[in-house]
A and B are shown apart, each in its own frame.
Chain A
Amino acid sequence: MTVHTQPSGVPDDAMRRLAQMRPGQPTSLFTSDLSVNEFLLVREAGFRPLGLVLGSSIYHVGIQFGRWTQNRELDQLSQAMYHARELAMTRMEAEADALGADGIVGVRLDIEFKEFGSELAEFIAIGTAVKADAPPDSGGSWRNRHNQPFTSDLSGQDFWTLIQAGYAPLGMTMGSCVYHIAHQRFWQAMGNIGQNVEIPQYTEALYDARELAMSRMQAEAEQLGAEGIVGVQMLSNTHRWGGHTTEFFAIGTAVRPLRPDHVIAKPQLVLPLTDR
């Protein structure tokens, strides 16, 4: 085995630093919402955290009614859900830009419906702005083609692996589609009682809605000149609209290659002594 455990030592240097701490010393202060693992890995990947960045938008999502018996996209709602997220993301990116960041890692995008207003929701984007110690080996900049900091919802661990494998994140890409799934007609529902059958209009509706969300995400990646999208999540959420109206939301990180080969060092095999 080539694994060496760290020798256990005496943390005198660390304790000395604590003993020497004085309020208000000039420091290169930064804040981040990374975990310890993520923080250390992001540093190892050659990036310095600059600060926590966030963007938020409280949005009134309008109402739209679909015909009871019709499969269709509720485009008003799709637009609202997309626009509000876009606002939050853009504000977060503006904060990062003001800090002179190369990118934002560990971005989380959340929606919270407020108790005091049935159509009110807060959209929030939060992440850690980072700056690279050096430009990429292939030349150019870490920023994307619009000269904006890259964004990535990958964890620090995934970010490290991605950089090791010769890829760089370009930006988070997303697509949203709010879809109304038709109710079954009475006789159709009666006819299906007690039977194991496919309900084609349901299948079709779910297909269509997901396809729309994914193609919108893909279009964003094409705009960024990406080679692909990693870590895609396909979420479906009814929020507060009841059973037949669902938002399909696709989100992932668009990436570009930094070098032609994408080989990483062969991982060491380990046999964990725990089940989990």
Chain B
Amino acid sequence: MTGNVTVDGWDGRGLPPVARARVERAAADGVRTSLLSADGLAGLEVAGFDAVGEVLGTTVMQIGWTGWGGCGWQPGWGGNRSTFLGGPPYQPGEPVVVTGPSRWSGYEPYAKAIRRGRDTALGRMRQEASELGADGVVGVRLTEERMEGQKHEFMALGTAVRSRGRQRPERTFTTDLAAQDLAKLLGAGWVPAGIIYGLSIAVRHDDWRTNSALSPFAGNIEVSGYTELISHVRAAARDDFARQVGNLGADAALMSGLQSRMWKIEAGENHTDHAASCIVTGNAIAQFKTRRRPTPSSLTILPLRSMR
């Protein structure tokens, strides 16, 4: 972003001028907007929060496939081994995880760009919220949309809320849970701490083990090379996810989405490799002691409603 200045004189730091104007207007006139449903508003009431306003963070990033060096490595060289469940020591033939610091960081710029896009969108949304005096943002929708070319738009949209009490959190919390869910969690002694995600990308060199399993005459056989690749990527993304929970100082996480993808790369003449990526999104939650309210217990009900 260095050196790029828009016609409005915005250099990419802080909030864009229109967002700043909107925040200032909202802070001044006292009109409260929200993206909540009627149920959501009732949930917010139970939780002890007031809606402050809808908040948005967005960024468009150009993501090129920089850093990719073609077919240059064999499986099992370098890379970071996932420590999930304390796995066995490194075996030859394993995929190379290329996110994180490693000798084979071919996709690291790509992963970095995605992280930066998500973090910028969430950060701008949080900044709007804190300037409105909010304590948190609920019902966040975090989307990534591919535009023409190599441009990706990252957007975070949610409703800023403020506690009715005197205690303020140190940092504005974010959650993609609905306000109803926030009420239930708080009632049970858990508070959302922030939206987190774990990301991992890896490449595996196709070799005789994958190729032989792909022959039309191979019959029913597991393609163990690909299974390793995708398992590895998922384990690394989950490790990263769990690390984010710890980094926040939270106690647990409720996963809300797991997307994985695998694709073919033409690495050289008559040779292909396979790459896989995985992104795990969810909410970090923290447990607290509460003297005020007992944990609500569930009540079995039978709705008197016709099935139409």
Contact = CB atoms under 8 A, between A and B. Distances in A.
A57 to B, nearest CB: 5
23 contacts: A6-B293, A9-B293, A10-B165, A12-B166, A17-B286, A17-B287, A19-B169, A23-B247, A29-B242, A31-B242, A36-B181, A56-B231, A58-B230, A59-B220, A59-B222, A60-B218, A60-B220, A60-B223, A62-B219, A120-B226, A269-B304, A272-B303, A275-B305
A76 B218 CA distance: 12
B46 A6 contact: yes
A8 B129 CA distance: 23
Which of A19, A36, A271 has the most B CB atoms < 10 Å from its CB? Answer: A36
Interface string A78-121: 01100110010001000100110000000000000011110110
A203 interface: no
B191 A57 contact: no
B85 A98 contact: yes
A122 interface: yes
Contacts of A8: 45-48
Contacts, number: 218
B186 A83 contact: no
A29 B252 contact: yes
Interface of A: 3, 5-25, 27-37, 39-41, 43-44, 49, 52, 54, 56-63, 76, 79-80, 83-84, 87, 91, 95, 98-99, 114-117, 119-120, 122, 126, 160, 264-272, 275
Nearest to B252: A30
Q: Chain B: interface residue count, which band?
A: 35 or more
A40 B252 CA distance: 13
Contact of A11 (B48, B221, B231, B274): B48
B301 A126 contact: no
Contacts of A270: 301-304
A272 B165 contact: no
B252 A57 contact: no
Interface stretch (B94-102, B111-119, B256-264): B256-264
Given A12-B167, A40-B184, A56-B231, 14 more contacts: A6-B46, A6-B187, A11-B164, A21-B250, A31-B238, A31-B241, A32-B254, A36-B177, A37-B184, A59-B222, A60-B219, A61-B220, A62-B221, A267-B300
B156 interface: no
B56 interface: no
B289 interface: yes
B188 interface: yes
Nearest to B136: A18
Contacts of B301: 267-270
B234 interface: yes
Contacts of B46: 5-6, 8
B69 interface: no
Interface SS majority for chain A: mixed
A23 B258 CA distance: 24
B170 A21 contact: yes
A60 B300 contact: no
Contacts of A21: 170-171, 193, 248-250, 286
A49 B186 CA distance: 18
B4 to A, nearest CB: 32
Given A10-B163, A59-B220, A32 B255 contact: yes
B265 to A, nearest CB: 10
A32 B216 contact: no
B165 to A, nearest CB: 4
A247 B213 CA distance: 23
B288 interface: yes
Contacts of A114: 262
B238 A52 contact: yes
Interface string B267-308: 000000010000000100011111111001111111111000
A61 B220 CA distance: 5
A23 B170 contact: no
Nearest to B161: A11
Contacts of B226: 58, 120, 122
Contacts of A87: 222
A13 B252 contact: no
B107 interface: no
Closest 6 CB pairs of A and B: A18-B169, A10-B165, A17-B288, A21-B249, A12-B165, A14-B191
Interface in B166-222: 166-171, 173, 177, 181, 183-188, 191, 193, 213-214, 216, 218-222
B121 interface: no
Contacts of A265: 300
B288 A57 contact: no
A24 B246 contact: yes
A239 B109 CA distance: 37
Contacts of B183: 6
A116 B263 contact: yes
Given A10-B163, A272-B305, A63 B216 contact: yes
B252 A62 contact: no
Contact of B289 (A13, A80, A266): A13
B144 interface: no
Given A21-B248, A59-B222, A11 B255 contact: no
Nearest to B47: A11
Nearest to A264: B300
Contacts of B193: 18, 21
Contacts of A76: 219-220
